Structure 1
Amino acid sequence: MLLGAIADDLTGATDLSLMLARNGMRTVQFVGVPPRNTDFGDAEAVVVALKSRTIAAGDAVEMSLAAARALLAAGAEQLLFKYCSTFDSTDAGNIGPVAEALLDLLGAEIAIACPAFPAAGRSVYQGHLFVGHSLLSDSPMKDHPLTPMRDANLVRVLQRQTRGKVGLLPLDVVAAGARAVQVALNEAAAVGQKLMIADAVADADLRVLGTALADATLITGGSGIAMGLPDNFRRQGKIGTTPLVASMAAPAGRSVILAGSCSAATRGQVAAAIGARMPALRIVPAEIAAGTQNAAGVAEWIVAQNAEEPALVYSSDDPASVRVVQHSLGIERAGEMVESLLAEVSVILRDRGFSRFLVAGGETSGAVVAALGAQALRIGPQIAPGVPWTRSIGVPDLALALKSGNFGDPDFFLTAWDKLDD
């Protein structure tokens, strides 16, 4: 194993795993910190998926350090801390505290922070994060129920989370090439800067950064920052090229979509699926709280649908409605009730012959995969930028598509199945 990665949620880990696999690295994704003495087989990159994005900062640090130590003990030469391309966080963390803890663990002087992912419409210019043509603070992320992002200046955002000084690696330096980036990082480290927000508006910028970071012990960013890392190992003669498959064999069984994200993209996908007459059932937190909607009943509704087509169960709602629910039930309780119900539904369905799960939302995906008991995933074909099909390793044998709420075209729920072979 050459590259060890720590992702702060499950869909982000899958996104990163796809990026590494697309660029020719044999990649395996683990759910949770790998047990001691885990055999990673022939994996050249191992991505550890945590559920640490929205937990207390101290807990996120402890969990991330445990993952880092496991990866280093297995031989990782370089560590990557992966977070969302929309820099999801609060002023308390968890991006800054985890990044600083990893720097301390490695004894490293400085690391970049770059969430840019141009293929998904995320770019960083003059330290400001754009979602499409809008500043992050003007995008739907401003209404995220757990991590509302209302400041697009990432230098400011990260500085509020860290003890050390945060700087900017501007686009003109990146455009000047890898050597210019290395010089700028060395100069920043010499004056005590610990983290640098790196501009990137195109894939070429991410590849320049990747080349410049060949000798870095720690890198932080979105999945885009991993684009240029495999070539570093390839130039050193440590890896060849492993092609990404165009489709994936899937275990026999029925299909289902579980959507817990309330992002604008997922709401559009739900609307498109309903418009195409896909059977759909809405999860209502108030009904869960009242006991009138439960996992057994939801699962029975799904089982009763046409076995040849997927059915959709969703809790997605517009921001105003989400705020009403949160006010009534509490932010954490509302989210946990939906995640717990969908996780319980997934187990019932697995035991009833369902083996193909498409899950939307990072928190929902984490809850569902943990409940299903999948511990390691092999990366399959890309469905959309940042979203592949995966197949679990060992028991249970499942096909899983784990989608960040913000990713995918409107027809995602309808077309994802085309990548699976019976």
Structure 2
Amino acid sequence: MLLGCIGDDFTGSSDLGNTLVKAGMRTVQYSGTPTDPADPDVEAGIVALKSRSLPVEEAVRLSLEALEWLQDQGCQQILFKYCSTFDSTPEGNIGPVAEALARELEADRVIFCPAFPATGRTIYQGYLFVGDKLLNESGMENHPLTPMTDADLRRWLAIQSTVGVGHVNAATIWQGADAVRERLDAEADAGNPFVICDAIRDDDLLTLGRAVDGLPLVTGGSGIALGLPDNFRRQGLLSPEGPVWEGQVGRVVALSGSCSRATRGQVAHHIGLGQPALEIDPREILAETFSAIDAAEWALGQDGVPLIYSSADPKAVSAIQSEYGTETVAHALEDFFADVARYLVDGGVTRLITAGGETSGAVVEGLGISQLEIGPEIDPGVPAIRAGEDLVLALKSGNFGARDFFDKAARMLGDEG
């Protein structure tokens, strides 16, 4: 294994896998830290954790466990992958996890770049934009677990970190990889080992990739991985044969627990197409008046691409959280969707689509999936994934995907047969 990756959620990890596969690396995503060695043919291994919203100490512990396993596989570079909207709180977890990894790897300069231009995430003068809006005006300020109230990544990371935070601006990046390396040296000498990097184009990410060749630790969104495979390719370390994808025949169901603006639009579009859809009321789940078996039986009785969703607008979500507690509601819905997924697979579903990082993580854990083979791209940041001989998945971050994502994913994953 050449590149070892630690992802702080499942959908973000598959997004990263999508980037690496497109760049020609044989990539496998693991559900949590494996206990067995990796297959020797794996060039990039991604340990997908569900650590984004955990207490800081737990997130750090899990990340260090993943690091130890990846080092045991012989990885030459480690990538800590977080969301392209830098999802975190003033307490963490991005800063504390990065500090712990940097200590273990003795990394004295670490870039931070969540930019992903293909999905509208860009960084300019240290500020993160979503499309033409600042992060804190994009809807992310309403996120139920990690509300982003400041688009200045330098300020946000500094609040979470005990080390200095520097900046490489776009003008420097446009001068090329050597200029970036010089700036990283200067920031390290100034006591700023953590460095926010601007990026507004894919070319900027490719430049950053060349600039970090040989550095032990890189952090960012999946976009930062665009330029990393070529570093290994120039050394003649990558196999010339790319991965091969085969879809799966069988029934399909979509599950959505994301409340993001993008996912709510996808749900509305899917319903507008006349596809069967079942809205879940968290109050009924908490009151145990509606069960996972009820939802699964409904889906198994439908044609087309049935959708089971709990994707209310932020005001409705806040009202339920105020009534029952944020953690109580979140855990109840995650357990519900994990149970639904198990019943669906037991009932013969072979193509499963999930929307939302927490939902996707719960489903993967609930199904007991330990290893995922990354396949072709469905939409930017979202690949098709093989989870076993008879099961394929699409794990979508809440903010990703076109309006017709659910139908598009169903087609990419296979057909009814």
In which range does the TM-score fall when normalised by the shorter chain?
A: over 0.9
In structure 2, what is the equivalent of residue 130 of structure 1? 129
The one-letter code sitting in structure 1 at the alignment partner of 2:293 is: A
- What is the aligned-residue identity percentage? 52
Alignment of 1:314-353 (within 5 A): 314-353=309-348
TM-score, structure 2 length as denominator? 0.98
Matched residue, 1:6: 6
Contact 2:3 2:45 in 1 (8 A): yes
Aligned to 2:289: 292
- SS at structure 1 position matched to 2:160: coil
Q: Secondary structure at the match of 1:248?
A: coil
Q: Report the CA distance between 1:219 and its aligned residue.
A: 0.1
Do 1:2 and 1:44's aligned partners in 2 also have CA atoms closer than 8 Å? yes
C-alpha displacement at 1:39, in angstroms?
Answer: 3.0
Q: 1:382 aligns with which of 363, 374, 377?
A: 377
Deviation string 1:52-100 (CA, Å, 9 cap, x unpaired) is 0000011000000000010001100000000000000000100000000
Superposition map of 1:20-419 within 5 A = 20-35=20-35, 37-243=36-242, 248-250=246-248, 252-306=249-303, 309-393=304-388, 397-419=390-412
Equivalent position of 1:19 in the other structure: 19
In 2, Cα distance between equivalents of 1:13 and 1:312: 23
Deviations 1:178-205 (A, max 9, x none): 0011111111112221200000000000
Count of residues in correspondence between the two structures = 415
* Paired AA for residue 14 in structure 2: T
How much has 1:3 moved relative to structure 2? 0.3
Relative to structure 1, the CA distance from residue 138 to residue 364 in structure 2 (aligned partners, 3 Å threshold; closer, same or farther) is same
Q: Is the 8 A contact 1:339 1:367 kept in 2?
A: yes
The 2-side partners of 1:355 and 1:371 are apart by: 15
Contact 1:248 1:389 survives alignment (8 Å): no
Letter in 2 for 1:2: L
Q: Deviations over 1:232-284 (max 9, x none)?
A: 00111111444465x6321x431100000000000000000100111110111
User: What's the CA shift string for 1:185-228, capped at 9, x where partnerless?
Assistant: 11111222120000000000000000011111000000000000
Equivalent residues of 1:25, 1:241 under 8 A apart:
no
Aligned 8 A contact 2:15 2:222 in 1: yes
CA-CA distance at 1:33 after TM superposition: 0.5
Distance 2:231 2:127 in 1: 28
Residues 191-200 or 215-224, more deviating: 191-200
Measured in 1, the distance between the counterparts of 2:408 and 2:112 equals: 34
User: Does structure 1 retain, via aligned residues, the 8 Å contact 2:351–2:414?
Assistant: no
Cα distance between partner residues in 2 of 1:65 and 1:226:
21
Q: Partner of 1:281: helix, strand, or coil?
A: strand
Contact 2:251 2:350 in 1 (8 A): yes
Residue type of the alignment partner of 1:31 = S
Per-residue CA distance 1:154-186 (angstroms, 9 max, x = gap): 000000000001111111111110001111111
Q: Matches of 2:9 and 2:266 in 1, distance apart?
A: 21
Does the 8 A contact of 1:257 with 1:358 survive in 2? yes
For 1:24 and 1:190, the matched residues in 2 are separated by: 36
Q: Secondary structure at the match of 1:46?
A: strand
Flag the 1:241–1:205 CA change in 2: closer, same or farther, 3 A. farther
- CA distance in structure 2 between the partners assigned to 1:386 and 1:133 by the alignment: 19
User: Does 114-123 or 337-346 show the bigger shift?
Assistant: 337-346
2:305–2:410 CA contact under 8 A, matched in 1: no
Unaligned runs of 5+ residues in structure 2 are none
Residue type of the alignment partner of 2:410? W
Alpha-carbon RMSD across the aligned residues, in angstroms, is 1.1
Asked whether the equivalents of residues 250 and 414 of structure 2 are also in contact (C-alpha less than 8 Å), the reply is no
Structure 1 residue runs of 5 or longer lacking an equivalent are none
- Offset from partner CA, 1:110-158 (integer Å, 9 cap, x none): 1000000000100000000000000001001110010010100000000
The letter of the residue matching 1:341 is F
User: 1:135, 1:210 → 2: CA distance?
Assistant: 25
CA-to-aligned-CA distance 1:270-327 (integer Å, 9 cap, x gap)? 0001001111101111111222111111111111112xx2210000011111111111
TM-score, reference length from structure 1: 0.96
8 Å CA contact 2:357, 2:398 repeated in 1: yes
**AA matched with 2:320:** V
